[in-house]
């Protein structure tokens, strides 16, 4: 499989990144090299092999559904780039 500049533009959109033309060019070349290298994984027969998502055999670590103390609002908003009325403020979603 080879990746085109158009693919790079599509992936950048999914990843919420704006790329310059130079970056598009660079990533197209570099991702192609990396993916070409990764294609060696397809040499292996993995029929019937279970995927490893995680090395510890944990499943559904649950906690009781109890009310707990949470961070005070001043702390939550300490790093907020913009805030109003104890809420994070962002530009209008709809124009």
Partner 1 sequence: MSLLDNTLQELHNKLNAKELSVLELVNQTFKMISERDGRVGAYLTLNEEGARNAARRLDDKLAAGEERGLLFGLPAGIKDNIVTEGLRTTCASQFLSNFNPVYDATVTRKLREADAITLGKLNMDEFAMGGSNENSSFHPVHNPWDLDRVPGGSSGGSAAAVAAGEAYFTLGSDTGGSIRQPASYCGVVGLKPTYGLVSRFGLVAFASSLDQIGPVTKNVEDSAYVLQAIAGYDKMDSTSADVQIPDYLSSLTGDIRGLRIAVPKEYMGEGIDASVKEKVMSALKVLEDLGAVWEEVSLPHTDYAVATYYLLASSEASSNLARFDGVRYGVRAENPSNLLDLYHESRSQGFGPEVKRRIMLGTYALSSGYYDAYYLQAQKVRTLIKRDFDQVFEKYDVIIGPTAPTTAFKLGSQVDDPLTMYLNDILTIPVSLAGVPAISIPCGLADGLPVGLQIIGKAFDESAVLRVAHAYEQHTDHHKQRPTL
The site for partner 1 (CB under 8 A) is made up of 1, 3, 7-8, 11-12, 14-19, 23, 27, 30-31, 33-35, 37-38, 40-42, 44, 46, 49-56, 58, 61, 63, 71, 75-76, 78-82, 88, 90-93, 95
Q: How far is the CB of 50 from partner 1 (least distance, A)?
A: 6
In the beta sheet, which residues pair with residue 88?
83
What string of DSSP letters covers 33-85?
HHHHHHGGGGGS--TTPPP-S-SS----------------HHHHTTT-SSEET
Q: How far is the CB of 22 from partner 1 (least distance, A)?
A: 11
Q: In whole angstroms, how far apart are CA 16 and each of 8, 13, 87?
A: 12, 5, 23
Q: How far is the CB of 57 from partner 1 (least distance, A)?
A: 10
For residue 6, the SS3 value is helix
DSSP 8-state secondary structure symbol assigned to residue 4: -
Identify which of residues 85 and 95 has a Cβ nearer to partner 1 in the complex. 95
Q: How far is the CB of 67 from partner 1 (least distance, A)?
A: 16
């Amino acid at each position: 499989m080879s990746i085109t500049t158009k693919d790079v533009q599509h992936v950048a959109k999914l990843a919420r990144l704006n790329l310059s033309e130079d970056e598009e060019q660079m990533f197209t070349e570099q991702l192609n090299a990396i993916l070409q290298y990764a294609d060696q994984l397809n040499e292996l027969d993995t029929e019937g092999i279970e995927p490893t998502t995680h090395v510890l055999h944990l499943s559904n670590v649950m906690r009781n559904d109890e009310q707990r103390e949470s961070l005070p609002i001043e702390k939550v908003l300490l790093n907020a780039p913009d805030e109003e009325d104890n809420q994070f403020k962002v530009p209008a979603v709809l124009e």
